[in-house]
Amino acid sequence: MEQSVIDWSRAQFALTAMYHWLFVPLTLGLGFIMAIMETLYLKTKNAKWKKTAKFWMKIFGINFAVGVATGIILEFEFGTNWSKYSWFVGDIFGAPLAIEGIFAFFMEATFIAVMFFGWNKVSKGFHLASTWLTVGGATLSAVWILVANAWMQHPVGMGEFNVDLVRTELNDFWAVISPVAIMKFFHTVISSWMLGAAVVIGIASWYMLKNREKTFALDSIKIASVVGVTGIVISIITGDITGNQVAKTQPMKLAAMEGLYDGANGVGLVGIGILNHDKTYNDGKDPYLFDISVPKMLSFLATRDINGYVPGINDIIKGGYTTQEGNIAVPVEEKIARGKEASEQLRLYKTATNEEDKETAKAFFKANSKYFGYSFFNSAADTIPPVSLVFYSFRIMVCLGLLFLILFVVVIYYIGKNKFTAARWLQKTCLWAIPFAYIASQAGWIVAEVGRQPWAIQDILPVQAAVTNINASSVILTFFIFLLLFTTLLIAEIKIILKAIQTGPVESVEDEQY
């Protein structure tokens, strides 16, 4: 397989995923906020809440439409660019995606029409139910997509490897919905509340700066700031649990997140740091040019013991340490050797002409099958993810999350003291904070996905074994076509949203009577 095919296929998938993730968190976060606003309308009978909800539904609808377009292309790429991946694990990976399409997507697609066009045509209660079901459908879509993604991070629920078809097969569907999947769902979806809140507060602050729709703006900010603080606090809790899970299931990812090469007991958590970019595996150089750490915090987060042992990149490769499950870690070089033996025995099984030879080869393969994915590597260094990208992305995500928590708390304080209207500096800050919410959200996904590299499925299938064997020029061509298409869609969405914002919330006579 040409390296250029692998690199361009990865680039194309990363491009599609990152564009798609520009729209998904706003759908999840803004959907929750606008549903609360319509609930207040039904409860208070105050028409201002209907006016407010309808405006944010318009923004939601524009964003939702573009998100669906990019999401469909993303799923098709599993068949076009990653057909070997789809064959190898399609029996497992396809199940949650099928459920997402059959149930969740159709639910949101059904009720979104009532939500947008049912005003003054159905009862208030039924319309509110349609809004919540639309938001619920979007959230259910996220559930099953995140279950599939979590399985790539922590593959469970598999039966015996099918040596005749050379693929893994589903054994226990409910095992796929693992604690890792559940926590990934809560962390991802609820962190989207922060982004939705940041967008609502930022746009509402623009109205305050322009001295327009002040009541609408203040009402929007009140709801969004509370949702934002709630989302960040819960995200901190779920992020802590997720980090502990990563320490157990993906120790190499955790080591990359911390730039940790040599493990120890009582390891500190790097708060701020600059990596030594000349550092390579096992060269003895200091991994940091500068760092400020919280003593023993990483050990506590990873093991729930301030003196707990956390392995570094060098330790994971060398093996020999005791894992949190009480097992002795196998050296990566040994995993590669046993993986190549498994690959050879699989070849012998496929070419054997009598049953005795087939059974012998099958038995040898089964003994080493869990290392089969390592057979595609030539050296232990190939298993190290891009440390710098993961290290800095993690700190961008965390630091921006904490800054948004401070910002939302300040907003709540100024709203409570009736000082927000006069605080133009705060309004400008909220407006210009919008792009940083997207940066924080994208950084989180970079940590999750790049930190897993070079694996398509952790410890089972590396990226180079998952890609479709096609001409690199085809992937390059479609990469730039998608880049042009997605950029055009993004520009179009921004223009339409800006036009909607410029027009502002509209209140009709029918709305007053409804």
What are the pLDDT tens digits along the chain (514 aa)?
A: 566 888 898 999 899 889 888 898 999 999 999 999 999 999 998 989 999 999 999 999 888 888 888 888 887 888 788 888 888 887 787 778 777 777 777 777 788 888 888 888 888 899 999 999 988 888 888 888 888 888 889 888 887 777 877 788 878 888 888 899 899 999 999 999 999 999 999 999 999 999 988 899 999 999 999 999 999 999 999 999 999 999 999 999 999 999 999 989 999 999 888 998 888 888 888 889 888 889 999 999 999 999 999 999 999 999 888 888 888 989 999 999 998 998 888 888 888 778 877 888 888 888 888 888 899 999 999 999 999 999 999 999 999 999 999 999 999 999 999 999 999 999 999 999 999 999 999 999 999 999 999 999 998 889 988 888 888 888 889 899 999 999 998 999 899 999 999 998 876 545 555 5
- Integer Cα distance of 508 and 364 in angstroms: 75
- The reply to whether 270 and 360 lie within a common domain is no
Is 326 inside any structural domain?
Answer: no
The parent domain of residue 286 ranges over 256-318
- The reply to whether 246 and 267 lie within a common domain is no
- The reply to whether 312 and 430 lie within a common domain is no
Q: How many CB atoms lie within 10 A of CB 361?
A: 20
Residue 127's closest CA among 55, 222, 54? 54
- 461, containing H or E segment: strand 461-462
- The reply to whether 451 and 354 lie within a common domain is no
Is 514 inside any structural domain?
Answer: no
Is 323 inside any structural domain?
Answer: no
Q: What SS3 class is residue 43?
A: helix
Q: Which two tokens stand for residue 419?
A: 């000082």
- The reply to whether 481 and 390 lie within a common domain is yes
- The reply to whether 109 and 86 lie within a common domain is yes
Residue 145's closest CA among 189, 107, 84, 85? 189
Dihedral of CA 278/282/285/288: which sign? positive
* Angle between helices 3-44 and 124-153 in degrees, nearest 10: 150
Is 511 inside any structural domain?
Answer: no
Which of 272, 296, 318 is where one domain is finished? 318
Is 294 inside any structural domain?
Answer: yes
- Integer Cα distance of 337 and 372 in angstroms: 10
Q: Which two tokens stand for residue 37?
A: 């606003």
- Integer Cα distance of 181 and 448 in angstroms: 13
- The reply to whether 375 and 397 lie within a common domain is no
| Residues 434, 494 contacting (CB under 8 angstroms) | no
Is pTM beyond 0.85 here? yes
End-to-end CA distance of the chain: 63
Is 84 inside any structural domain?
Answer: yes
Residue 350's closest CA among 187, 166, 488? 166
- The reply to whether 376 and 389 lie within a common domain is no
Is 348 inside any structural domain?
Answer: yes
- The reply to whether 119 and 219 lie within a common domain is yes
Is 510 inside any structural domain?
Answer: no
Number of domains making up the chain: 3
- The reply to whether 390 and 350 lie within a common domain is no
- The reply to whether 118 and 200 lie within a common domain is yes
Q: Which two tokens stand for residue 150?
A: 């979590």
- The reply to whether 348 and 201 lie within a common domain is no
Residue 405 confidence (pLDDT): 96
Backbone angles phi, psi at 479, to 5 degrees: -60, -50
